[in-house]
Structure 1
């Protein structure tokens, strides 16, 4: 073997940044990465270049246009071979992610709604085909291409997440078929996965049902390993995510009654009257958080049981109803995050606690580890809640996380956000990857929304840059243009990671929720607060929906005075009985469902 080959070490790698120079004769590109590092990229004579594209769009080659495209300021991904130890990098694939003038394709008005529509169509076909929707066909587990695995499980939470995705797709597009899927799923969820406890006047939700051999076996407690044989708070929380989004569109009083009954369960049995907050697990027999059957989950609180109420259902419930008790619960959650989760001396929040709020650094897989996405999620939700209650402490913690997290949890050379890190740095000062350097789709959502929402509230250009770079990585590497949907995980270099559960498009962890929530909120903040462009939302209130006949169309908890309702159509005709400032529409009486289209605009 030649000496040069014996000692040659190469790895496939990715580098991303902004073009600083281009020499087409030498095939050299100068890039400036997110952390302002200068990188020289040589591209091969066989390089293939393409433009960033959305789901449902055809590929667009850019190879013949490189001379015109590789101009200073253009954002670019370069994938190729890194030679070690000399560090020479040769690119074999280029993704032109930026546009002239510094904009990005995903800042076009219809990018995110179109992506949500494609996601909805993928899951609609995968679960039910192109014909009538029969919810008995729903399955939690979907393979990479959307075909169903040999599993007969229907998990409540993943069905609820599918319902959320379909409702959100209707909200953004007005496609009736998608809302019909959501309503069919809601009816099925309520009929088959709901337990009405008349003794305690509460509702709780089964983990799921097994429909093997045409029978229906109720799974009362969680089958998931971390929560096995218990009733976890997060399963009750996510059972509400689809119900609440559907209620927001239709005002169905039966849905609201089930949401209120589930909240009675949360207040009566999960809530800690002594120390505040909500316990993470209950024993299934006596509905107590203090039972030996709960083992490592006994008398515990965590991020999910405290912080997930707001984004999963509670903000949407408040938006739909305006009820002060829901605002109070949102404030209680935010106050607990600020007072209990933030830890002096650590850049990361603490996520697990004993009943008295003593940190639990020995729990299961988490130990003393930070989930990057949870830190980012706290940032964007505190900014949302600051619009409801302008508490400076909310904004301080959100901005503290926003300023520190790119240097800790972001990949500043390749783009994207990492997964789990040790909270305590090593002797070298670095926070070690706990297991791997892969990047999960839901963590990318947290990064994009954290910085879009921070940018929308503050106008800070650095937050906007981080949001754009995060969205560029997600749209370049997570969209599955061959099969549809989004990938669960990619490697650090952006290639899909397709092993085990992480090759699935449907699982205990993945359905439609995160990707469609991203599409909705990215549209809201990008168009209304950052670019001040109009956007439309669709609703379909029932004749018996919304007892006060008031349809609340505010798309999120937004800074007062920054967005107004500009126009309304009811059943395709202009309608004028609405309040532009409060974004309330007074609905006309009708014997049939109404289709309401609301146009919102950003205000200087």
Structure 2
């Protein structure tokens, strides 16, 4: 189930970025398949839970596999499988507002709150429940009885809960997120004993350092994942405890979990140094897993985007360079599961595959989506377009919430909205919401988000009757000519014979930009017209002093 869900997440994210209908079609069909084949809805209990898998018989029938068949979770219902069952559908819900998806999420959260949550004074969520009694205390659970871990406590946030809050704005989901991160801050840090957090616990939050393969070992990526998600949550409900722990992890982890010579983040290491040791011993190998690189890149990107610490940006770029150089299969496509410490692909056993249960595209898609959000909107200060296709009657309050991730309040605003290619004005720029037309049918919504401190943007708004309307915003430098070229080139491809550019928001125009416009006019022919409206004194003076005012009309 969670394998399909992770893939669905990727298709939905791809549609958000591109508006390609094929991606949304795949996401919706995958979501419907999950609902039809993998979901058990218990109307009496008002819950639903998701089968581990199905076996398709030769006659086309199905054998439902309720309890997990993975070794660590055998014959139990692990919390993380139920969590990741929601990852793809909820990301699809952000695009469509499909009420059926919301209902599945609501009922699954009921399952978490009723059967996985510790309602005693200790709090938190149990890692496993048994498939019959739905209890975390059944003896049959063995080494998973009454246990709590990172996955059961923290994975709610990145897998589905942040996205559900982004789509709905409902207080109950913000409260759930706050509960999650308060729990992490209260119990996971263990800096008196180790530079890594503790990840596994007994019922009373005492450390479980004898469980299965983990023992007293650290998963480097889980530390990075905590830092990344704490910074997201800090922008929703800011607390010093969130920021302080995120910064503590960011400052500590490079010296203990990073390959400072070749780049990249290691997998599993011993949490504690033995006498005489200077480096944390690898648990089994020095390989590097693709998903842990994602956590490091996203953690340091958002840390820099919010806190503006240049060390964070350096770690983000180093991690990105290692990932792009060694994890991407540029010959056959896809992402490698593991590479050796020197970056050579590790292609043996189950790690040879690119579509395994734990991969299924989720982390690589999430990295591409959120790295573009953090890089463009928070770091490079460049606008981005996002696409939505709300179902008729989908979002129950008629509001389309378009914030791409939990970003600092006021960091971005809506500057333009189009519905089916037509400019649309009913939106709240600062609250990042679009009021959908009443009684709308099947529509596609394109939304442009612009950083509040945007450096420069050139936006092609429309092409009508051979005239292209563009909006120029910010301070144009030689570096930004490529954005102007993208907008002008797009206009000419659509048959434009005139450029009507609104420069009201343009603070300055560099000489390279002026020369570019004159050159494009030359190549387009003598009947091609360029006019600039609402130019500031500085922009008008730049055009006049360049003596290009005969080629560029000021209106």
SS in structure 2 at match of 1:421: strand
Say if 1:452 and 1:522, in contact at 8 Å, map to a contact too: yes
Q: CA deviation at 1:600?
A: 0.6
Aligned to 1:46: none
Aligned to 1:514: 363
Aligned to 1:377: 225
Alignment partner of 1:236 is 2:85: no
Aligned to 1:106: none
Aligned to 1:219: 65
Say if 2:28 and 2:92, in contact at 8 Å, map to a contact too: yes
Aligned to 1:525: 374
Gaps of 5+ in 1: 1-155
Q: Deviations over 1:206-227 (max 9, x none)?
A: 0011114233111011111100
Aligned to 1:281: 128
In 2: Cα distance, 1:590 partner to 1:491 partner: 56
In 1: Cα distance, 2:442 partner to 2:310 partner: 44
Q: Deviations over 1:130-162 (max 9, x none)?
A: xxxxxxxxxxxxxxxxxxxxxxxxxx0000001
Q: CA deviation at 1:591?
A: 4.8
Aligned to 1:196: 41
Say if 2:191 and 2:197, in contact at 8 Å, map to a contact too: no
SS in structure 2 at match of 1:599: strand
Aligned to 2:352: 503
Q: How does 1:107-118 map to 2 (within 5 A)?
A: none
In 2: Cα distance, 1:484 partner to 1:561 partner: 38
Say if 1:426 and 1:432, in contact at 8 Å, map to a contact too: no
Aligned to 2:426: 577
Gaps of 5+ in 2: 454-555
Aligned to 1:366: 214
TM-score, normalised on structure 2? 0.80
In 1: Cα distance, 2:349 partner to 2:269 partner: 22
SS in structure 1 at match of 2:286: coil
In 1: Cα distance, 2:426 partner to 2:251 partner: 44
RMSD value over aligned CA atoms? Answer: 0.8
In 2: Cα distance, 1:424 partner to 1:591 partner: 59
Q: Which of these residues, 117, 125, 128, is aligned with residue 271 of structure 1?
A: 117
Aligned to 1:388: 236
Alignment partner of 1:341 is 2:174: no
SS in structure 2 at match of 1:468: helix
SS in structure 2 at match of 1:388: coil
Alignment partner of 1:453 is 2:453: no
In 2: Cα distance, 1:347 partner to 1:450 partner: 17
Q: CA deviation at 1:200?
A: 1.4
Matched length: 449
Q: Deviations over 1:297-344 (max 9, x none)?
A: 000000000000000000000000000000000000000110100113
SS in structure 1 at match of 2:86: helix
In 2: Cα distance, 1:212 partner to 1:374 partner: 38
Alignment partner of 1:179 is 2:45: no
Which runs of 4 or more aligned residues in structure 1 lie more than 3 Å from their structure 2 counterparts after TM superposition?
A: none
Say if 1:278 and 1:305, in contact at 8 Å, map to a contact too: yes
SS in structure 1 at match of 2:346: coil
SS in structure 1 at match of 2:387: strand
Compare relative contact order (CA 8 Å, sep 6+) and give the higher one, 1 or 2.
1
Aligned to 1:424: 272
